Chains A and B, each alone.
Chain A
């Protein structure tokens, strides 16, 4: 493997340092300074930024499959939401007798539906460890089953995108049903404790934010490790010419399946970190529109760069928060315009543009660096 570092690697290192610094600094700023101090980080901002960071993890996960393997998943929101539901179920069980109906076992909505016993699907969710396992297992297994069939049958391109969309749409419909047993329309909310600590306390919020940021760093490191390895190079070649890689003797479906499952697990963890911070999970998270929106974060930031994906998620969501507050009428124009303009004029995203403009001034030091396909933001044929 090439030992020299490309500029993208340097950006990646800088990103890693930044995330870890933020993870340490944010709780300090949120808890130590006086409320009037200019350094004080108010709780609402902590929650908001925490949300962005979770979206950034989702974006990194999506970039891993789309940017590096050419799998445009329009259903990653489903993995995100499933992870979120697993965490939400744990948080529901922690409410205990503090619910409206004060039932020690059953969550309120089950009492309301006149259910007598806890459904099998809810067993074990009073243990954090079990819930955490499910956060990983449920999206992972779904992605495995889905990918196993889809990649083996060589469902590719637009067809794959459409059936991932069908998957998340089907899940949305299922979770909307009351008898499906996950709170129906209202979803899961009104959480009290996580690991015995008040989930809404400022310190908990700060800690959750910190953990999410570290999660983002971890997701980045894992993804980076995957795409920098030999395996990652095979992924990029699959993206660029799937049939050729197959003819060369690679088992394309196994490569795709692995990266798809890893990505789904990451998305699930992002969802699990998201739920305690926003305090609710409901079926609208499965909405196909959410999944497509996640794709545009990656596109805006720059696909196939990982850092760009995280950046895109944060920038777009910041813009969304700002515009939906200031000019709610125009947000959809903005978002729609973003989709069109980025695909037309910024196919490599913000980061790709930044790299390209600096590249004109300083040509790469070594020619080997440019051939490192994994690190290169290459022209993508999908």
Chain B
């Protein structure tokens, strides 16, 4: 090897090293641009800082946005103040004890402030926490800010988490899909990402692309993706409505099942049943008002049995004082219990006032989560659980206890039951107490999702009647089926023809259904039918 060659090699080495030395910290350049304190330079610096990966980039940018970034003209230093007032060196990120005498603020205008915000958003794209990254990607998706594109690409290159990667791809897709100047391959990938996302935002973005795209290929891809997204959305929308329907059904079931019991056993419709529900709701309110704050989390656990007892006791009173004297006169019982319901409403109005009372939801019952494309509120979920538990418990009482056996006997044939020694009067009383008590439990559940007011019961009573009439009294499964049919039909008709029209149709359907099955879905068989 000749000396010239060695020299050349050395020169090359020096050159490379020199270049790498010069590039060793572009951050210095960036920070120097801030020090110039000219708007165009600051703008450039913000973009550079955002992709620099400097650990304190977010702090510097936040300081800039809040007018807390300063230049020390003497020392050529960039300093920033924390919101607490401590001063830091932007380059070394070390705390500075005493503030230099002359500090000059780095000026920002509104355009720069907007840029700062976008930059801070893209900074979190590289946050070590994947959840934070997804959040940031989501923010970019919503803003569709083209300036975030380099940051997204940088983040994508490093991204390993599958979900965060999908979120980043979607964010990228939102930016490039409608951009006719972007490369076709990019846009096709964007269409694909949006198709994966498959929500309303994706739908509207794809819709826009179909309308605006000048590239036939992209347009066609967007069209197919749009169709698939639409089907997907419809399916999820349907699933969501089914969920709403099941949720409404569970409330209906709770409200109606007590009515079905009393109607089945005694053949009377208790028009004051809605007021039993209301009493349960007010019991919850009273429990919450008297409990000390430390026990508030147990308020529902205390309210459930208490509401059962309170409503059940009121039910016993009504049965003892009114209904038992009207035995065999079902229609008069209907009128008398209507009178009782008016009295109970007015009593509660006098005691608690006519205004709505606020019943707080405990922590475990508030909030919601997503299951695929369905949003599920925890409160509603718990009410469904409660209704299933109540239904199962009732079935158990009816099938597996001596009391249940006697109750079924009276339901099927009162006179025969009486002949074999069952005290029908006692069974009547307990059945009424049980039915009313369950209404009280329904009241606790309803207090979580509806206004607690003296009129609360009235809102549920007609629907409960429909459930009982539809389901029949032969079997509790009839009540369950009736509640499911009415709850689901209500919520599935709602988006198609509106809530009120849906309800009207449902009422007409029930009126017609009764013509076909005058005793409901599950009628009692045998001689008991002909009264």
Interface residues of A (CB under 8 A from B): 70, 72, 146, 149-150, 152-159, 161-163, 165-167, 169-170, 173-174, 176-177, 243, 288, 292, 295-296, 299, 329-330, 332-333, 335-340, 342-344, 347, 380-382
Q: Which residues of A sit under 8 angstroms from B330, Cβ to Cβ?
A: 157-158, 382
Q: Which of B412-430 contact A (CB under 8 A)?
A: none
Closest A residue, CB atoms, query B339: A339
Other A-B contacts than A336-B338, A336-B341, 17 sampled, CB-CB below 8 A, are: A156-B518, A157-B330, A158-B330, A158-B331, A159-B469, A170-B503, A173-B504, A176-B500, A177-B501, A292-B335, A295-B335, A332-B342, A332-B345, A333-B343, A339-B339, A381-B328, A382-B331
- Flag if A155 contacts B518 (CB, 8 Å): yes
Residue of B nearest to A379 (CB): B329
14 A-B residue pairs with Cβ-Cβ distance under 8 Å, sorted by A, are A72-B331, A149-B515, A150-B515, A153-B515, A163-B511, A163-B514, A166-B462, A166-B507, A170-B504, A170-B508, A174-B500, A333-B343, A338-B339, A344-B322
Inter-subunit contact B531/A332 (CB<8 Å): no
Smallest CB separation, A291 vs chain B (Å): 11
The total of Cβ contacts below 8 Å across the A-B interface reads 136
Task: List, in ascending order, chain B residues with CB within 8 A of A342's CB.
Answer: 335
| Contact, CB under 8 Å: B332 / A347 | yes
Residues of A within 8 A of B90 (CB): none
- Given contacts A162-B465, A340-B340, A344-B322, whether A296 and B335 have CB atoms under 8 Å apart is yes
Distance (whole angstroms) from the CB of A74 to the closest CB of chain B: 8
Give residues of chain B (494-531) contacting chain A, Cβ–Cβ below 8 Å.
500-501, 503-504, 507-508, 510-512, 514-516, 518-519, 530-531
* Beta-carbon contact of B329 and A382 below 8 Å: yes
On whether the beta carbons of B338 and A339 are closer than 8 Å, the reply is yes
Given contacts A155-B515, A158-B269, A167-B511, contact A329 B331 (CB under 8 A): no
Q: A173 contacts B500, CB within 8 Å?
A: yes
Q: Is the CB of B335 within 8 A of A299?
A: yes
Residue of A nearest to B332 (CB): A343
Is B7 an interface position by the 8 A CB rule? no
Contact with A along B335-354 (1 / 0, CB 8 A): 11011111111110110000
Considering residues B342, B343, B514, which has the most beta carbons from chain A within 10 angstroms of its beta carbon?
A: B342
The interface residues of chain A lying within 8 Å CB-to-CB of B268 are 158
Cβ–Cβ contact A337 & B328, under 8 A: no
In the bound assembly, the distance between CA atoms of A330 and B347 in angstroms comes to 9
Q: A161-B334, A170-B504, A339-B335 are in contact. Are A332 and B343 (CB under 8 A)?
A: yes
Nearest B residue to A292 via CB reads B338
- Given the known interface contacts A177-B500, A332-B345, A344-B325, the answer about A159 and B507 at a Cβ–Cβ threshold of 8 Å is no
Q: Is there a chain A Cβ closer than 8 Å to B267's Cβ?
A: yes
Separation of A295 and B334 alpha carbons in the complex (Å): 11
CB distance from A45 to the nearest CB of B (A): 28
- Is A159 a contact of B518 with CB atoms below 8 Å? yes
Q: How far is the CA of A156 from the CA of B340 in the complex (A)?
A: 24
Do A335 and B462 touch (CB < 8 A)? no
Whether, in the assembled complex, B326 has its beta carbon less than 8 Å from a beta carbon of chain A, the answer is: yes
User: Which residues of the other chain, A, contact B334 by a CB distance below 8 angstroms?
Assistant: 72, 158, 161
Contact of A169 among B345, B346, B347, B507 (CB under 8 A): B507
The reply to whether A149 and B507 contact each other, CB–CB distance below 8 Å, is no
Given contacts A154-B518, A288-B462, A332-B342, A340 and B336 within 8 Å (CB-CB): yes
Q: A161-B334, A336-B346, A382-B330 are contacts. A170–B469 as well, Cβ < 8 Å? A: no
Quick check: A329 and B325 within 8 Å, CB to CB?
no
The interface size of chain B toward A, counting residues with CB under 8 Å, comes to 48
- By a CB distance below 8 angstroms, the chain A residues around B466 are 162, 166
A335 to B336, CA, bound (A): 11
Choose one: B263, B339, B346; the contact of A340 (CB below 8 Å).
B339
CA distance A166 to B465 in the complex (A): 9
Q: Which residue of A lies closest to B505 (CB)?
A: A170
Taken together as a complex, chains A and B put the C-alpha atoms of A338 and B338 apart, in Å, by 10
**Chain A residues whose C-beta falls within 8 Å of the C-beta of B511 in the assembled complex:** 146, 149, 163, 166-167, 170
Which residue in chain B gives the minimum CB-CB distance to A166? Answer: B507
In the bound assembly, the distance between CA atoms of A163 and B334 in angstroms comes to 14
A interface footprint on B446-460 (CB within 8 Å = 1, 0 otherwise)? 000000000000000
Q: Do B336 and A339 touch (CB < 8 A)?
A: yes
The 8 A CB mask of B16-38 against A (1 = contact, 0 = none) is 00000000000000000000000
Residues of B within 8 A of A146 (CB): 511
Residues of A within 8 A of B518 (CB): 153-156, 159
How far is the CB of A77 from the nearest CB of chain B, in Å? 14
Measured CB to CB, the nearest residue on chain B to A340 is: B339
**Residues on the B chain within 8 Å of A72, using CB:** 331, 334
For the complex of A and B, the 8 pairs showing the least CB-CB separation, nearest first, are A339-B339, A336-B342, A336-B343, A332-B346, A170-B507, A153-B515, A343-B336, A340-B339
Closest-by-CB residue of A relative to B515 is A153
Query: Does A173 lie within 8 Å of B503, measured CB to CB?
Result: yes
Chain A residues, Cβ within 8 Å of B343 = 332-333, 336-337, 340
Question: Which residues of chain B come closer than 8 Å to A330, judged between CB atoms?
Answer: 346
Per-position binary interface string of chain B over residues 175-194, scored 1 when its CB falls under 8 Å from any chain A CB and 0 otherwise: 00000000000000000000
- B339 touching A343, Cβ below 8 Å: yes
Q: Please name all residues of chain B whose beta carbon is closer than 8 Å to the beta carbon of A335 when the two chains form the complex.
A: 339, 342
